[in-house]
Amino acid sequence: MFKDYKLLLILAFLGLVLVGLSIKDSFDQDYVKHQKEYYKLIGEKDYTIEVKQVNLETAGITMVDRCQSCHIGASNPDAVNFPQPLTYHPPIIAGVENSLHDFNKMGCAICHDGNSRALEFHDAHGEFHGWPESYALLPDKTSQANCFRCHAQEGGKLAGAEHFESGRSLFLEKACWGCHGIDGVSNAKQAPELTNAGGKHGFDYLYESIQYPKANDENSKMPKFDWVYEKETVSAIATYLKGQQVSKIRSGNDAPIGYVKPKSIENRISVASVDAGRALFAGVNYMGSTSRGGCINCHAWRNSDGDIAGGHIGPELTWSVRNRGKEYVREHIINSRTHAPDSIMPSFKEYNDAELDSLVMYLATFSYKVESEDL
């Protein structure tokens, strides 16, 4: 019987030890340490350590956000020089100090994702097995992808989302639209549709898929472009794609701050010219038109001195019109498989006559001739 009491005493002692460790652990949680450090830095002696929680009412659900339990100085301009995670969050719109993005009302995760209920560093940042990759933390300017959970995305530019807007422009300039469809942007069907790319995948997945197309799909036919090592370029495009989310938190028309959804304006090139063709070839805007190009991302050409520029994925186009003729080139732009059944070049059936003629006119200006000493 004494042995039974001894066993019970041992079990009771172990239970007390576990309770003590649990209590100690609660006092050692990250947010407790951060709040103590914060109040010490601001010289506050009379304070209460607490979980700081924002309940954000969205369409049909309540988002629980406890991020400011650690990021306690986010709304305090005097904390601008404090270390992370205690520092002040700069205005979302540069130069606008009185931003209507009130973190005490909207929290942090609505923009930055992550696990906003958690109170430990790795858990809160979604760095644990089982957390959806599509909701991994978005640091710094990549969080601009989530502006469009609330704000309308069609047309115009949204202040405070410059990195996203850069990605939008690059998606067109780099001719991504030629293969990938996005609702309201492109009807292309040659490669995976990206209307909900950000709803399905995280930023890192999208970045990696642009830089190394076969990283996440070994059967991918997407070429590896010359610009994929330009970090800012890839980051901007990945941010734009992360912003492609079908699920919205609220209607763009009801977004809480100043973005007026503009009317969609279709302003295509209507008069053929060499200059218009040059702009289409380079993927840049031509006199405010909404026409899109970007041939130079895949095709190279030589100037009159023989200097070569452009991509290396498709055939060089220096002699395309000279060797094949204008009609052949025009047909090839509309549907490359007419002449090359195995071609991976997307179809440009949406080009109007002026756009097609402009491109052919520009390609016909390539005048470099191979001299005998070059052979």
Q: Per mean pLDDT, which range of 9-13, 122-126, 212-216 is the poorest?
A: 9-13
pLDDT of residue 5 exceeding 90, the answer is no
Query: Residue 29: what pLDDT?
Result: 85
pLDDT of residue 11 exceeding 70, the answer is no
User: In 10 A of CB 87, how many CB atoms?
Assistant: 17
User: What would the mean pLDDT of 177-198 be, rounded to a whole number?
Assistant: 90
Does residue 148 or residue 216 have the better pLDDT? 216
Full DSSP string of 304-346: TT--EEE-SSS---TTHHHHH-HHHHHHHHH-GGGT-TT--PP
Among 1.10.760.10, 3.40.50.2000, 1.20.1050.10, 3.10.20.740, what is the CATH number of 141-254? 1.10.760.10
Query: Residue 168: what pLDDT?
Result: 92
How far, CA to CA in Å, does 113 sit from each of 60, 90, 232, 295? 18, 18, 21, 36
Query: Residue 344: what pLDDT?
Result: 87
262-274 per-position pLDDT tens digit: 444 467 899 999 9
DSSP 57: E
pLDDT of residue 196 exceeding 50, the answer is yes
Does residue 290 or residue 59 have the better pLDDT? 290
Full DSSP string of 59-82: SSSEEEE-GGGTSTTTT-GGGTTS
Q: Which of 96-100, 113-117, 149-153, 344-348 has the highest mean pLDDT?
A: 113-117
Query: Residue 4: what pLDDT?
Result: 59
Helix axes 274-282, 353-363, angle to 10 degrees: 90
Give the pLDDT band of residue 258 (cuts 50, 70, 90). very low
CATH 3.40.50.720 fits 274-369, yes or no: no
306-318 per-position pLDDT tens digit: 888 888 889 999 9
Query: Residue 206: what pLDDT?
Result: 97
Q: pLDDT averaged over the chain?
A: 85
Domains 141-254 and 274-369 share a fold: yes
Query: Residue 259: what pLDDT?
Result: 38
Give the pLDDT band of residue 328 (cuts 50, 70, 90). very high
How far, CA to CA in Å, does 341 sit from each of 261, 336, 344? 43, 8, 9
Alpha-carbon distance of 186 to 171, in angstroms, equals 11
Q: How far is CA 305 from the centre of its chain?
A: 39
Q: Indicate the domain borders of the chain.
A: 30-94+103-135, 141-254, 274-369
Q: Per mean pLDDT, which range of 20-24, 110-114, 327-331 is the poorest?
A: 20-24
Query: Residue 127: what pLDDT?
Result: 87
Contacts of 88 (CB under 8 A, 6+ apart): 73, 74, 75, 76, 77, 78, 79, 80, 82
User: What would the mean pLDDT of 203-209 be, rounded to a whole number?
Assistant: 96
pTM of the model: 0.80
Does residue 370 or residue 252 have the better pLDDT? 370
User: What would the mean pLDDT of 112-140 be, rounded to a whole number?
Assistant: 90
Q: Which of 3-17, 125-139, 204-218 has the highest mean pLDDT?
A: 204-218
Q: 125 by DSSP, 3-state: which?
A: coil
